[in-house]
Chains A and B, each alone.
Chain A
Amino acid sequence: MADPLLTVTNLETYYGPIMAIRGISFVVPERSVVTILGANGAGKSTILKTVSGVMDPQKGTVTFAGREIQGMDPDRVTRLGISHVPEGREVFPFLSVRENLMMGAFTRRDAAGVGEDLELVYSYFPVLRSRAEQRAGSLSGGEQQMLAISRALMARPRMMLLDEPSLGLSPRLVKEIFEIIARINRERGVTVLLVEQNANMALHIADYGYVLEVGRIVMEDTCARLLEKEDIKEFYLGMKESGVRGTRRWKRKKTWR
């Protein structure tokens, strides 16, 4: 395995009085795709937010490229090369699509490179080109999601944190987005930390996976092996033995509990 680009050790973060993540450690090697799976409320987004500086951890360290970054202001974290695509389409509603994309390149000074990247994301998502002068707030939910991902790409990051990129997208777009994530990882060597509800897709493009339950990591392995586990199959992939759950409403207990 390559050197770790991001190392998280013993991280604890609170939402007010509630401990959202309870002592979590993991590593993301350079140029790899790592995914974190877990049910709603397990604390996946909190991990990403703590890494990118939007939330402050109570305990623990986050090391990026040899530097401790926990508790840093999020804009400084971004300047170090971490681009976070937040959950829920956080676009700038009153700026045009093109201006939104240019904001993605805010930290960059190379106009030529920015222009190239603009063309690149337009080629990924042609719909953005046709809506370039519209206000981002007038885009549909799925289009805003595409915009958010493209905008993060415009920063030409060293590492991307993706929080549910497939949320609310059509099946075709989900496939496309995962292909794009795989491509930027392969072609540009961008390291990816991916949080997804769509475990099927995530496990197929990621190298290594962690499973999170109620703020703790309960399982970790290479994705190839995770795909073989019974619990993963049933609870994250929805693969039932010939539609067992199609008729039954009780659930099997998860074995890691």
Chain B
Amino acid sequence: MRSAHPGEDALDTILQLVLNGLAVGCIYGLVALGFVLIYKATELVNFAQGDLLMLGAFTCYMFVVWYGVGYWVALALAVALVALFGAVLDATILRRVIGQPQFSVVMLTIGLGAIFRSFASIAWGSEIYTLPTPFSARATRVAGVAVSHEYVSIIVGTVALCAVLYAFFTFTRVGLAMQAASQNQLAAYYMGIPVKLMFSLIWAISAGVAAIAGVLLAPVSLIDINLGFIGLKAFAAAVLGGFGSIPGALVGGVTIGLIELFSGAYLPQGFKDVAAYVVLLVVLAVRPQGMFGAIVRKKV
């Protein structure tokens, strides 16, 4: 199809880039959301988040391809399993290090991530898999832009999930209690908040979100054991948005996604992978707390 005006082509390209950028950005946002949830509730930075995502994607793949389970059931199963795994992880390991310096805990999650990757490579090998979904290879043309259903599923899923979680944290009793437990564990105990249960719950939710992100990402990217390295970009997204802010994670993710696609299209080769980080550094130099983060000074 040829356009009547050359300008329209450029516009279509830009629109297409925006759409794709939004979709990629939403994935980053989802992973970032996982970081933010854990951080909000326990003030830990979970470097294993990307690897949980990888586990989620593999689990779903296993159900769909090996056992022939339907996509939606497999999705639910994968999310449930990974969420359960997150809770168990908290109950057995992470809970024991709470109260130790943040640095040690960060290192702990890095160690866990390495173990997960190692486990995945032993269990599933180093091949690359493709997850078939109901959205696969379908697209609708809207005003000259190919709207892939996969991308739509990603965007809709992400926005809905963010809204639900935001409401949960801001308006429900349990959500508030989680925030309380992160801000002052001792006082939370004094209020009768079952802090340990809260932490397991948040790990379950966050691992579940990672699994959803993994399943949504799987058709776009491919599944292999290094899928988790998307976590590095998601870090940039979370920090850009301001660690600890749920809308911040989404906005940060979308920003990174758009920057990445546009720099890939219009800048020389090599910029695609680093543009996001350059922007991150620039933003942090101006606003060290990220776009939506708040710095509260310690009272002295």
In the complex, A touching B, CB below 8 Å? yes
Show the binding face of A for B, using Cβ within 8 Å: 52-54, 73-75, 78-79, 83-86, 90-95, 99-100, 102-104, 106-107, 135, 137-138, 140-141, 148, 151-152, 155
Min C-beta distance of A144 to chain B, whole Å? 8
Min C-beta distance of A16 to chain B, whole Å? 14
> Hey, which chain B residues are within 8 Å of A75, CB to CB?
188-189, 191-195
Out of A94, A104, A140, name the residue touching B191 (CB < 8 Å): A104
A90 touches B296 (CB 8 A): no
B184 touches A93 (CB 8 A): yes
B190 touches A86 (CB 8 A): yes
Given contacts A103-B177, A106-B173, contact A91 B191 (CB under 8 A): no
* Chain B interface, >50% SS class: helix
User: How far does the alpha carbon of A107 sit from the alpha carbon of B188 in the complex, in Å?
Assistant: 11
Out of A54, A94, A104, name the residue touching B296 (CB < 8 Å): A94
User: How far does the alpha carbon of A78 sit from the alpha carbon of B194 in the complex, in Å?
Assistant: 10
B97 on interface, CB distance cutoff 8 Å: no
> Hey, which chain A residues are within 8 Å of B179, CB to CB?
92, 94-95
Min C-beta distance of B166 to chain A, whole Å? 15
A138 touches B296 (CB 8 A): yes
User: How far does the alpha carbon of A53 sit from the alpha carbon of B196 in the complex, in Å?
Assistant: 14
Give the number of residues in B that approach A within 8 Å (Cβ atoms). Answer: 20
Q: Total number of A-B contacts with CB less than 8 angstroms?
A: 79
A155 touches B180 (CB 8 A): no
B160 on interface, CB distance cutoff 8 Å: no
> Hey, which chain A residues are within 8 Å of B296, CB to CB?
93-94, 135, 137-138
A78 touches B191 (CB 8 A): yes
B191 touches A155 (CB 8 A): yes
> Hey, which chain A residues are within 8 Å of B184, CB to CB?
90-93
B183 touches A92 (CB 8 A): yes
B186 touches A107 (CB 8 A): no
A155 touches B192 (CB 8 A): yes
Could you pull out 15 A-B pairs where Cβ atoms are within 8 angstroms?
A: A54-B189, A74-B189, A74-B190, A75-B189, A78-B192, A86-B190, A92-B184, A94-B179, A100-B180, A103-B180, A103-B191, A104-B191, A106-B173, A106-B192, A137-B299
> Hey, which chain B residues are within 8 Å of A135, CB to CB?
296
> Hey, which chain A residues are within 8 Å of B194, CB to CB?
73, 75
> Hey, which chain B residues are within 8 Å of A90, CB to CB?
184, 186-187, 190
Given contacts A75-B195, A137-B299, A138-B296, contact A95 B190 (CB under 8 A): no
A102 touches B176 (CB 8 A): yes
Out of B183, B191, B299, name the residue touching A106 (CB < 8 Å): B191
Min C-beta distance of A86 to chain B, whole Å? 6
In chain B, residues 170-207, which have Cβ atoms closer than 8 Å to a Cβ of chain A? Answer: 173, 176-177, 179-180, 183-184, 186-196
Min C-beta distance of A176 to chain B, whole Å? 22
Least CB separation from B193: chain A residue: A106
User: How far does the alpha carbon of A54 sit from the alpha carbon of B179 in the complex, in Å?
Assistant: 20
